[in-house]
Amino acid sequence: MFVTGAVPGDRVRARITKRKRAYAEARALALVEASPERVDPRVPHPGAPWQVLHYERQLAEKEHQVRDALARIGGFDVPPVEPIIPAEDPWRYRNKVEYSFGSGEDGGLVLGFHRPGRWNEIDDVGVDILASERVDALRERVKEWCRAEGLSAYDRREGTGFLRNLVVREGRRRGQLQARLVTSPGDFRSADLAAALDDADGVLWTRAAGAAETTRDGETELLAGSDVLEEELRVFGATLGFRISPEAFFQVHTEQAERLYALAAELAGLRGSERVFDLYSGIGTIALCLALRAREVLGIESVEPAVADAIENARRNEVENVRFFAGDVRTALRPLVEEAGRPDVVVVDPPRAGLSQKIVRRVLETRAGRVVYVSCNPTTLAPNARQMADAGYRLSTVRPVDMFPQTPHIECVALLERDGG
Ligand SMILES: C[S@@+](CC[C@H](N)C(=O)[O-])C[C@H]1O[C@@H](n2cnc3c(N)ncnc32)[C@H](O)[C@@H]1O
């Protein structure tokens, strides 16, 4: 039972919100008895609910939850889970934050996070202990500027108001900062805002219509600087440079991403002669890390600007043994095998929903000797790994990597090896 609004060790009264065959999800309504392990939070933050547990305790709990998911949901008697890789810096690590505009109790403009469980109430944020101080300063400047302009927050229930979100991204290693304001259709003194944010490397404005709460829709206009963010990753002593489009995914914890990719590459067991498929390849991070040690790497990704980034990233880093394809893994995998030949290694890094049974079947069809599964959700890794195990793959190792300190989210890398191959 995964209970939002509680930490391990609490006794709570909770309401079940989702019931699955192997597990359920619930929301805490009242705290009956607090966990004796609770500590005071640094600063209230709805995105950091586990900050009331010491970091060591968080790590132990995550490792335990991976083991638990694989045993209970995946039916693995003794899951081969290795010690979790902790983050060196468990605070102020996020390189991307999405803030929401709202109206405070006095009707004034606030900019912060949704109150847990309340889709229409926003709590103001003054200090965001998961983002850098630079991001804090930028957010406060945007808030003050919008207040001084008398701009109003968009109200989803009424369909009125203008300001929706502020998305801030940082290229931490390159010292880059990007601000993207998301609004309803309409106008404002955009050039003045861009001038007020003169230390940002890029200022963008997205106009989105409709009530959907997403920062991915709408038309985006560049107000100042560049629309792509520059970042670099250091893996195996090499430094790879990346450009990241506003629509593209990038791991939120840069330093831990380097560890995650190095681990994925290590588990791929490359000797230089392999053909590797990187499914869900994003801007090409994993593919480029692996290409340093493989014969060739082929990536599939559905978001076209991310594919364009991946192609450009390969060119910039002078990596010639990679190719990227825009497509849905569900339909693009079979044609890729026909065109390029069977892969020796398949890497998958899907969104939280994991792989559908059909996609697992497609992966199995490739008869790859190794499948490296990068997962941000052990409850979907577990049934996918079970399906592969039933088809003759051995789950040989699972290593959690703490990408999301102070939160219950868990990332891990698993290796599945084909028996006899
Ligand atoms: C967790 S991210 C991983 C990206 C990349 N491997 C990385 O580490 O930066 C998942 C990626 O899968 C892409 N994606 C989601 N559904 C997809 C599908 N059906 N086919 C192809 N790509 C998909 C998303 O756009 C996103 O870039």
**pLDDT single digits (tens) 373-406:** 999 999 999 999 999 999 999 999 999 999 999 9
Check whether 8 has a pLDDT greater than 90. Answer: no
Dist CA 82 CA 76 (whole Å): 15
What is residue 215's predicted lDDT score, i.e. its pLDDT?
66
Check whether 84 has a pLDDT greater than 90. Answer: yes
Separation of CA 349 and ligand 1 centre (Å): 7
283 CA closest ligand 1 atom index:
9
CB 258 less than 6 A from any atom of ligand 1: no
CB 324 less than 6 A from any atom of ligand 1: no
Separation of CA 302 and ligand 1 centre (Å): 7
Instruction: Kindly state the average pLDDT of the residues 60-72.
Output: 97
303 CA closest ligand 1 atom index:
25
The per-residue pLDDT of the chain, averaged, comes to: 95
**Angle (nearest 5°) at CA 406 between 401 and 409:** 50
376 is known as an active-site residue: yes
Separation of CA 355 and ligand 1 centre (Å): 11
Check whether 213 has a pLDDT greater than 70. Answer: no
Q: What Cα–Cα distance (Å) separates residue 251 from each residue in 93, 200, 263, 304?
A: 11, 21, 15, 18
What percent of the chain lies above the pLDDT cut of 70?
Answer: 99
Dist CA 137 CA 116 (whole Å): 24
Check whether 421 has a pLDDT greater than 60. Answer: no
Distance of CA 345 to the CA centre of its chain: 23
Q: Identify the helix (H) or strand (E) that includes residue 109.
A: strand 109-114
Q: In a 3-state reduction of DSSP, which class is residue 5?
A: coil
What is residue 129's predicted lDDT score, i.e. its pLDDT?
97
Extended beta strands in 272-327, E state:
275-279, 296-301, 322-326
Which pLDDT band, with edges at 50, 70 and 90, does 217 fall under?
confident
Which two tokens mark 83?
A: 């010690």
Rounded to two decimals, the pTM is 0.94
Dist CA 276 CA 1 (whole Å): 37
Which pLDDT band, with edges at 50, 70 and 90, does 22 fall under?
confident
Q: Which residue has the tokens 């991403």?
A: 257
CB 356 less than 6 A from any atom of ligand 1: no
Check whether 168 has a pLDDT greater than 60. Answer: yes
Instruction: Kindly state the average pLDDT of the residues 221-226.
Output: 97
Check whether 211 has a pLDDT greater than 80. Answer: no
Extended beta strands in 172-226, E state:
176-183, 202-207, 219-225
Instruction: Kindly state the average pLDDT of the residues 259-268.
Output: 96
